[in-house]
A and B are shown apart, each in its own frame.
Chain A
Amino acid sequence: MSRTSAAAGKALTSNGNPFELFGLRPAFTLDSEALERAYREIQSQVHPDRFAHAGDAERRASLQWTTRVNEAYRTLKSPVQRASHLLSLHGVDVAFETNTAMPAQFLMHQMELREALEDAVETKDLPALESLQGKLDDDARSLEAQIASAIDHKKDYAAAAGLVRELQFLHKLGAEIDSAYETIG
């Protein structure tokens, strides 16, 4: 058995546009408050807790709707997924798994961070791990600002795709830092 899907973990009912679902303008820069408000309004209408005493038909419809709303919310909350979705609306595939080309400078920096991570794990150095996490968070924030500018202002979707791949790369390192915390205890 091997994997074919490029977009891992696509929404169950991905036919709907998550921006539309929440009544938001499609843009990378997110109005978090408006999203949160719309999410809660819809949830208060469709959540299974409202239908626990209803018939099977309503319970099923509620489960499907809530699942869809939760997935759409998650897509919009995640910078990588939000950007991927916007780019796909403009016909650009981020191609996480097939396009692995990265600027040399970015890769060099990543290698340094990875070495720092290995050192921190080896010496069980918690402060070093925390400072690494801090650096990564800064890098991610700066990348997100660049993605916002590329998508929302310059409308340079090809450049944005490259930046999204870099952001995804950072998230993978973030996951490794997470498991390093557990190894160190």
Chain B
Amino acid sequence: MALLQISEPGQSPAPHEHRLAVGIDLGTTNSLVATVRSGVATVLPDAQGRPLLPSIVRYGKDQVEVGYPAQARQSEDPKNTIVSVKRFMGRGVKDVDHLQNAPYDFVDAPGMLQLRTVAGVKSPVEVSAEILRVLRERAEMSMGGALAGAVITVPAYFDDAQRQATKDAGKLAGLNVLRLLNEPTAAAIAYGLDNASEGVFAVYDLGGGTFDLSILKLSKGVFEVVATSGDSMLGGDDFDQRVFCWIVEAAKLAPLAPRDMRLLLVKAREAKEYLTVHQEANITARLSTGEVVDVMLDTETFCRITQTLVQKTLVPVRKALRDAGLSAPDVQGVVMVGGATRMPLIQRAVAEFFKRDPLNNLDPDKVVALGAAMQANVLAGNKPQGEDWLLLDVIPLSLGVETMGGLVEKIIPRNTTIPAGRAQEFTTYKDGQTGMTFHVVQGERELVSDCRSLARFELKGIPPMAAGAARVRVTYQVDADGLLSVTARESTTGAEASVAVKPSYGLGDADIERMLRDSFEHANEDVHARALTEARVEAQRLAEATQSALEADAQLLSTDERATIDQALTALRAAVQKNDHRAIKHASDALNRATEEFAARRMDQGVRRALAGKKIGSL
């Protein structure tokens, strides 16, 4: 495990208090929460000592069960027991494979599908939020206080819609989402810090429903993702599906009722897991029709029926290597992540491809949560500068815009380091044209129809001009979470027209607020108390950061500027003493505005110092 850290005398890491921060692995099959305690990352177990939380939510008429209790009743109440909800995040009905094999009542909603349950129609975001809420409560109970923030992991190959949905779920669960972190990158952090590794590593992450392959360069204090690829619709669940289909065929079963379907899927999963250490698995089940299933699955047959899935994972492996400009022998180690990599046939295929034994020394179920906890600890500011590390990640899929003829013009190509921003100019094609429609897409194909549509928006109010005279600058900005925002601006004439969009999937900020309110009522928490606590934590964080910035760099401000900031700071501290969360929010915003210029100057100064240091160092 990581070394214990001892700080230099007089430079103890805590003039401020230790902020409670967690890493959450929101998995298809299981979810975990971890934190860093005394410099060591640990998974937080539930009251019974179990580290995993099955990602299963069962909706009853007036209560919601999450985890093991929901799992226990999944076969008896399949329609209201949602498993593998991660597969539906940011997805429409037509995007999901094997929909016919899922025993749910789907509702086709714009942007993202929904599920009809006995407790009403639920979006995958709400279902995921139930899982996150249980983990938040577990962490708060165990750590004895409200969380300052959380890092939630996502498959590296998740697109913008899936990432946005995950972040929304975090907010809905009452979490301050510090960052969305790619799962293979989280694993690399846990692994790299644990082993002080240097060089090129591949992370092969086969989870319950997603597959990622990332190539990273590890060097002292820097984790740089060079390329990432994957398949967000391929995982351990697909192996269960193959076994399920094999059972149906081998036992010559007629079309099944939902509960029998779920029963056999559970049996299929058990057989798959059993075959990890045995040669044969006996599958027996009594169906609701009274029919008895009794079949034997051996490893040879299992390999045969899942061979195409194993091969399917190697396609992204080759693609990522090509994108990185590397070949298999350049890779110094292959880290195995995700419960599905326990399957011997996966281990063999990876060993054969890379011509080296894969690395399995960290628990493949826990490594992502541990890495996320380490990153959360850094993001919360619990590590002094110099002991932290730099993480450079990329976007997995190209972002583009539709042009004439349904073609895609790529604006930010895949594997671009984030944060990234790029602009492209467009013009009108008709005289006097006053509006322009933009269609934002994500994907690698040339035709719009083969890519994922993220958003459509219209820029209105362009002053009438001759065709080709207007200059509309479309800017794509991807933040550190890998989330996109787009602005368009016409600025030839004095009259400016501009529009900004954040692609979102049927969930507006108002929807989230409403769901948040509902969920707190449901959880018997006081919405106002929670809002007040959050506003206070946020305000104190801001006041503290401003204070230390003033102490460090007061020389960057004129007397007047200093006075303005001091005034805003005093106002915020006064507001925190009162019980009005809106007033606190208002004062926070005011302080943020007052420090805008100061922040920019400090950043410039930081860059100048960094370069000056380099020049001295390189002499």
Q: Which residues of A are in contact with B by a Cβ distance under 8 Å? A: 1-5, 8-13, 22-23, 34, 37-38, 40-50, 52-58, 60-63, 65-67, 70-71, 73-74, 178, 181-182, 185
B533 — which chain A residues lie within 8 A by C-beta? none
11 contacts between A and B (CB under 8 A): A1-B403, A1-B404, A1-B427, A2-B429, A2-B468, A9-B411, A13-B421, A38-B614, A41-B613, A45-B610, A58-B602
A1, A41, A45, A56: most-surrounded residue (chain B CB, <10 A):
A1
Task: Tell me, rounded to whole Å, the shortest Cβ–Cβ distance linking B326 to chain A.
Answer: 13
Give the nearest-CB partner of A46 in chain B: B603
CA distance A174 to B58 in the complex (A): 51
In the complex, chain B residues whose CB is within 8 Å of the CB of A60: 596, 599
Among B148, B606, B615, the one with the most A-chain Cβ atoms within 10 Å of its Cβ is: B606
- In the docked arrangement, what's the CA distance between A178 and B618, Å? 39
Which positions 420-441 of chain B face chain A at CB distance < 8 Å? 420-429, 436-438
State how many angstroms separate the Cβ of A136 from the closest Cβ of chain B: 13
* A8, A40, A48, A185: the one within 8 Å of B222 (CB): A40
Q: Which residues in A have their C-beta under 8 angstroms from that of B427?
A: 1-4
Asked if A57 contacts B596 (CB within 8 A), the reply is: yes
Q: Which residues of A contact B618 (CB under 8 A)?
A: 34, 37
Residues of B within 8 A of A38 (CB): 610-611, 614
Write the B543-585 contact mask toward A (1 if CB under 8 angstroms, else 0). Answer: 0011001000000000000000000000000000000000000
Nearest to A34 among chain B residues (CB) is: B618
Least distance between B346 CB and chain A CB atoms (Å)? 20
Cβ-closest 4 pairs across A and B: A52-B379, A45-B606, A12-B421, A41-B610
Q: Are A5 and B425 in contact (CB under 8 A)?
A: yes
B596 near A63 (CB under 8 angstroms)?
A: no
Provide the bound-state CA to CA distance between A71 and B417, in Å.
Answer: 9
What is the CB-to-nearest-CB distance from A171 to chain B, in angstroms, rounded to a whole number?
A: 12
Could you tell me if A178 and B606 are in contact, using CB atoms closer than 8 angstroms?
Answer: no
Asked if B275 CB lies within 8 Å of chain A CBs, one says no
Task: Contacts A4-B471, A44-B610 known; list 11 others, CB within 8 Å.
Answer: A2-B403, A3-B403, A9-B411, A43-B390, A46-B606, A53-B19, A56-B592, A57-B596, A63-B477, A178-B322, A181-B318
Q: Which residue of chain B has the shortest Cβ distance to A45 in the bound complex?
A: B606
Q: How far is the CB of B409 from chain A (nearest CB, A)?
A: 7
Q: Are A55 and B479 in contact (CB under 8 A)?
A: no
Contact between chains at B610 and A4 (CB < 8 Å): no
Q: How far is the CA of A40 from the CA of B221 in the complex (A)?
A: 10
CB-based contact B420/A45 at 8 Å: no
Is the pair A12, B319 in contact by a Cβ cutoff of 8 Å? Answer: no
Alpha-carbon distance between A126 and B476 when the two chains are bound, in angstroms = 36
Q: Which A-chain residue is minimally distant from B598 (CB atoms)? A: A57
- Asked, given contacts A34-B618, A57-B599, whether A67 binds B426 with beta carbons under 8 Å apart, the answer is no
Q: How far is the CA of A11 from the CA of B479 in the complex (A)?
A: 16
The A interface is mostly helix, strand or loop, or mixed, namely helix
The chain A residue sitting closest to B549, CB to CB, is: A58
Q: Which residues of B contact A70 (CB under 8 A)?
A: 416-420
The listed residue (A4, A8, A42, A73) touching B607 by CB distance below 8 A is A42
The reply to whether B607 and A12 form a contact with Cβ atoms under 8 Å apart is no
Given A46-B607, A53-B541, A57-B596, is A41 in contact with B614 using a C-beta cutoff of 8 Å?
yes
B262 at the interface (CB under 8 A from A): no
Q: Kindly identify which residue among A4, A65, A71, A73 contacts B468, using a CB–CB cutoff of 8 Å.
A: A4
Partner of A4, one of B391, B404, B426, B613: B426
Find the B residue at minimum CB distance from A8: B424
- Give the interface of B toward A (CB within 8 A): 19, 148-149, 178-179, 222, 315, 318-319, 322, 375, 378-381, 385, 388, 390-392, 403-404, 409, 411-412, 416-429, 436-438, 468, 471, 475, 477, 479-480, 541-542, 545-546, 549, 588-589, 591-593, 595-596, 598-600, 602-603, 606-607, 609-611, 613-615, 618
* Docked pose: A71 CA to B419 CA in angstroms: 9
Q: Is the CB of B416 within 8 A of A74?
A: yes
Give Cα A130 to B599, complex, Å: 50
The minimal Cβ–Cβ distance linking B309 to chain A, given in whole angstroms, is: 15
Residue of A whose beta carbon sits closest to that of B401: A1
Complex Cα distance, B409 from A10, in Å, reads 14
Q: Which residue of B lies closest to A12 (CB)?
A: B421
| A67/B178 in contact, CB under 8 A | no
Asked if A55 contacts B595 (CB within 8 A), the reply is yes
Q: Given A67-B419, A71-B422, are A57 and B595 also a contact pair (CB < 8 Å)?
A: yes
A12 touches B475 (CB 8 A): yes
Partner of B603, one of A3, A4, A45, A73: A45
Q: Are B421 and A67 in contact (CB under 8 A)?
A: yes
Q: Which residues of B contact A61 (CB under 8 A)?
A: 596, 599-600, 602-603
Tell me, in angstroms, the Cα distance from A40 to B391 when the chains sit together. 10
**Roughly how many angstroms separate A181 CA and B409 CA in the complex, as a whole number?**
21
Taking a contact as CB atoms closer than 8 A, the residue among B418, B468, B591, B611 that contacts A55 in the complex is B591
Q: Is the CB of A55 within 8 A of B592?
A: yes
Please indicate the chain B residues that have their CB under 8 angstroms from the CB of A5 in the complex.
424-425
Q: Is the CB of A53 within 8 A of B404?
A: no
* Smallest Cβ-Cβ distance to B478: which chain A residue: A67
Closest chain A CB from B615 CB (angstroms): 7
User: In the complex, what residues of B have CB within 8 A of residue A66's CB?
Assistant: 419, 480
Is A49 within 8 A of B609, CB to CB? no
CB distance from B163 to the nearest CB of A (A): 15
Expressed in whole angstroms, the Cα–Cα distance for A49 and B592 within the complex equals 18
Q: Give CA–CA (A11, B596) in the complex, Å.
A: 23
Considering the chains assembled together, what is the distance between the CA atoms of A153 and B299 in angstroms?
66
Docked-complex contact B599 and A42, CB < 8 angstroms: no
Q: Is the CB of A49 within 8 A of B417?
A: no
- Whole-angstrom distance between the alpha carbons of A138 and B471 in the complex? 40
With both chains docked as a complex, state the minimum distance between the C-beta of B477 and any C-beta of chain A, in angstroms: 7
Q: Smallest Cβ distance from B135 to chain A, in angstroms?
A: 20
CB neighbours (8 Å) of B615 from chain A are 23
Write out the residue numbers on chain B whose beta carbons fall within 8 Å of the beta carbon of A2.
Answer: 403-404, 426-427, 429, 468
Residue numbers in B under 8 Å from A57 (CB-CB): 592-593, 595-596, 598-600
Q: What residue of chain B has the Cβ atom nearest to residue A178's Cβ?
A: B322
CB pair A23–B600 under 8 Å, yes or no, is: no
The residues of B that contact A55 with a CB separation of less than 8 Å are 542, 545-546, 588, 591-592, 595, 599
Chain B residues near A62 (CB, 8 Å)? 603
The answer to whether A23 and B611 have CB atoms under 8 Å apart is yes
Rounded to whole Å, the gap between the CB of A84 and the closest CB of chain B is 15
Which residues in A have their C-beta under 8 angstroms from that of B322? Answer: 178, 181
Taking a contact as CB atoms under 8 Å apart, the answer to whether B403 and A10 are in contact is no
Q: Are A10 and B423 in contact (CB under 8 A)?
A: yes
Chain B residues contacting A41 (CB-CB under 8 Å) are 610-611, 613-614
Say yes or no: B379 contacts A49, CB within 8 Å: yes
A142 to chain B, nearest CB (A): 18
> What residues of chain A lie closer than 8 Å to B542, measured between beta carbons?
54-55
Chain A nearest CB, measured from B200 CB (Å): 15
**Within 8 Å CB of B475, what residues of A?**
12
Question: In the complex, what residue of chain A is closest to B538 when comparing beta carbons?
Answer: A55
Q: How far is the CA of A19 from the CA of B607 in the complex (A)?
A: 14
Give Cα A53–Cα B548 distance, bound, in whole angstroms.
13
> Which B residues are in CB contact (< 8 Å) with A4?
425-427, 468, 471
With A2-B404, A9-B422, A23-B615 in contact, is A48–B148 under 8 Å at CB? no
Kindly list chain B residues whose C-beta atoms are within 8 Å of the C-beta of A45: 603, 606-607, 609-610
CB distance from A22 to the nearest CB of B (A): 8
